[in-house]
Amino acid sequence: LFVTGFAAAFGVFASMLQPMLLVASLPYAMFPVLFWAAARFGPRETATLYFLIGLIAVGGTGFGRGPFGESYIGFGGAYSNLAELYLFLLVLGGTSLIFACGRQQLAVSQRALRDSEEKYRLLVDHQTDLVAKYGIDGRIQYVSPSHRDFYGKPEAEFLGRALPEAVRLHDEERGCVAAGWKEVLSPPYQTSHEHRVLTPRGWRWVAVLARAV
């Protein structure tokens, strides 16, 4: 990172690229380098590289070299050139550091989210209650290990199916299950009922508590 940044800054602000690229917009070549530092490394490395680029830029301009040097573009004197340079460096550093801090904050948030999901999954996967998640279309999106063990079926036989398709409901409680689903889809968006299901150990009663989120 620093070798690339040093080479780019020296090439731009020490007039090393002047014979090939005699353009006033040449300093903007620094933006990709600093944004790479911001995206790949973080605020500390970005600030350090920005400081290095600033030193080279100010030094080159002070000696009348580079895009902001009087001998190159000629904005009307060394002080005017330095003012233009400082404004450019302010924009360059401000945008790259804001981007670096934003990327760092995003990484922290994503890490916290992963930790939260891990804790949630650890809790759900190791409890004895049967936990299932349904989409608004009534099809199963997730079943806990305890849920799979209770019915003696692999996860693939649950996912993407509605409850009556995934398990054997007792005929007398089919209407109860359908009514419970309607309750979940209307205020107060929750239901509780009991029904019988067929398991490897025969017919069993299950108490259902469901809530829409």
Six-digit token string for 89:
């460096």
Average pLDDT, the chain: 86
The pLDDT score that the predictor gives to residue 99 is 92
The pLDDT score that the predictor gives to residue 24 is 62
The pLDDT score that the predictor gives to residue 155 is 93
Cα 129 to Cα 206: distance, rounded to the nearest angstrom: 10
How does pLDDT run across 2-20, given as a tens digit for each residue? Answer: 898 888 888 888 776 555 5
Q: How many CA atoms lie within 13 A of 47 on its CB side?
A: 6
pLDDT of 120 above 90: no
Band of the pLDDT at 74, cuts 50, 70, 90?
very low
> Which of 74 and 150 is assigned the larger pLDDT?
150
The pLDDT score that the predictor gives to residue 153 is 93
> What is the average per-residue pLDDT within 63-71?
71
The pLDDT score that the predictor gives to residue 22 is 53
pTM of the full structure: 0.51
Quick count: other Cβ atoms within 10 Å of Cβ 96? 25
> Which of 125 and 38 is assigned the larger pLDDT?
38
Q: Any residues with CB less than 8 A from the CB of 177 and at least 6 apart, and which?
A: 163, 164, 169, 193, 195
pLDDT of 55 above 60: yes
The pLDDT score that the predictor gives to residue 16 is 61
Six-digit token string for 172:
């007398």
The pLDDT score that the predictor gives to residue 71 is 47
How does pLDDT run across 151-205, given as a tens digit for each residue? Answer: 999 999 999 999 999 999 999 988 988 999 899 999 999 999 999 999 999 999 9
| Strand 190-199 relative to strand 140-143, pairing | unpaired
Cα 18 to Cα 98: distance, rounded to the nearest angstrom: 30
Q: Any residues with CB less than 8 A from the CB of 59 and at least 6 apart, and which?
A: 13
pLDDT of 68 above 90: no
pLDDT of 140 above 90: yes
